[in-house]
């Protein structure tokens, strides 16, 4: 009888501990010692699509990816060109058919283009300027559909601290 009661009490305590842990993931999570965005991400918790990125633990704590502590930024100086502008490319090239400066709405994305970071426009001369934290980025048309003209940077854009990166974004007219 005493042995049965002892086993029953241990079983009840075991079940209560499991239920408490399942209903209060924050108690378990706080014991893991997560103290930064990097630790949160490494633990596999979801990364929110914000800028800067944020990671949320099951107990509701939010860790924000730290940007450069010194506040350093870099600059992208861009030029947007629209082309081709003539249906047939000739040899030698017709000077009237060169790519033309283009005013349009664009979006700055992560280098893999999985997240939009900032919308902006080029001016009537096809020029734009962005000041950003150091990192790798891409630029594409603000309209994500396959509409012409479709604009995109040809490779990841690397922005360094206190540096200027010059970029040409080409917009395809669809003329062939």
Q: Which DSSP string corresponds to 7-47?
A: HHHHHHHHHHHHHHHHH-HHHHHHTTT--SHHHHHHTTPPE
Structural domain count, the chain: 2
Tell me the residue range of the domain where 164 lies: 74-172
Instruction: Clarify whether residues 12 and 60 are in a common domain.
Output: yes
Mean pLDDT of the chain: 81
At 150, list the tokens: 């479709």
In a domain, 105, yes or no: yes
**How many percent of the chain have pLDDT more than 70?**
77
d(CA 46, CA 18): 24
Instruction: Clarify whether residues 99 and 49 are in a common domain.
Output: no
Where is mean pLDDT largest: 17-31, 47-61, 122-136, 138-152? Answer: 122-136
Instruction: Clarify whether residues 124 and 52 are in a common domain.
Output: no
- H helix runs in the chain, sequence order: 2-23, 25-30, 37-42
Residue pLDDT, tens place only, 41-70: 889 998 887 767 788 888 888 888 776 556
Instruction: Clarify whether residues 83 and 139 are in a common domain.
Output: yes
CA 122 from chain center: how many Å?
21
In a domain, 69, yes or no: no
């Amino acid at each position: 009888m005493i042995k049965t009661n002892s086993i029953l009490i241990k079983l009840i305590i075991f079940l209560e501990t499991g239920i408490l842990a399942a209903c209060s993931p924050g108690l378990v999570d706080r014991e893991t010692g997560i103290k930064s965005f990097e630790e949160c991400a490494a633990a596999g918790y979801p990364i929110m699509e914000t800028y800067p990125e944020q990671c949320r633990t099951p107990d509701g704590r939010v860790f924000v990816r730290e940007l450069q502590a010194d506040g350093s930024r870099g600059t992208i100086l861009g030029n947007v060109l629209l082309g081709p502008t003539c249906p047939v490319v000739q040899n030698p090239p017709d000077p009237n058919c060169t790519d033309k400066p283009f005013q349009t709405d664009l979006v700055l994305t992560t280098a893999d283009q999985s997240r939009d970071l900032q919308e902006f426009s080029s001016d009537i001369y096809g020029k734009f300027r962005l000041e950003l934290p150091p990192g790798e980025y891409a630029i594409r048309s603000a309209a994500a559909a396959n509409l012409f003209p479709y604009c995109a940077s040809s490779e990841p854009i690397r922005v360094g601290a206190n540096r200027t990166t010059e970029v040409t974004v080409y917009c395809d007219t669809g003329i062939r």
